[in-house]
Amino acid sequence: MLKIEHIGIAVRELSQSVPLFEKLLNTSCYKTEQVESEQVATAFFKTGDTKIELLESSSAEGVIARFIEKKGEGIHHIAFEVEDIEAEMKRLVSEGFVLLNEKPKPGADNKLVCFLHPKNTNGVLVELCMERK
């Protein structure tokens, strides 16, 4: 069974979005992090068992900047926690899904991550994530 680990939301500026989400969720941002490989700055919130990850592009050419340019701010991806990311990647490929990265890569919040191509998931960018050991 997959558990929703977090929902990623693309934002133009963390400096404006963090206070907004702190008011909205009635909780403080508990962590910010730069993920250089993805050209993003992140801010995390926890609400119940789910986390919200705000994503700001740290580069005009970054994936989040391109997403916002095309679609505007909003939900970027949904992430599911898996116990064995490599086994889950292999299973999904055998089911006909297309992976955006062939091997798990380091992501924010001490996770290994892999994304599924949204053309195979009804337009939803799906992230698999597993705690790094």
> The domain spanning residue 19 has which CATH number?
3.10.180.10
Phi, psi of 101 (to 5 degrees): -140, 135
Give the distance between the most distant pair of CA atoms in the chain.
43
Give me the pLDDT at residue 84, please. Answer: 96
Strand partners, 116: 99, 126
**Rounded CA gap, 87 and 90, in Å?**
5
Choice among 23-27, 63-67, 107-111, 114-118 with the minimum mean pLDDT: 107-111
pTM for this entry: 0.93
How distant is the alpha carbon of residue 96 from its chain centre?
A: 22
Structural domain total, the chain: 1
Own/partner contacts of 22-29, CB < 8 Å, gap of 24 or more, are: 25/52
- In this structure, how many other beta carbons lie within 10 angstroms of the beta carbon of residue 67? 18
Q: Quote the mean pLDDT of the chain.
A: 95
Question: Given strand 50-57, what is the order of strands in its sheet?
Answer: 31-35, 40-47, 50-57, 3-10, 74-81, 126-131, 111-116, 105-107
Q: Which two tokens stand for residue 17?
A: 């979005």
Give yes or no for residue 1 having a pLDDT over 70: no
* Structural domain harbouring 83: 3-131
What's the pLDDT band for 37 if we cut at 50, 70, 90?
A: confident
Mean pLDDT in residue range 3-23: 97
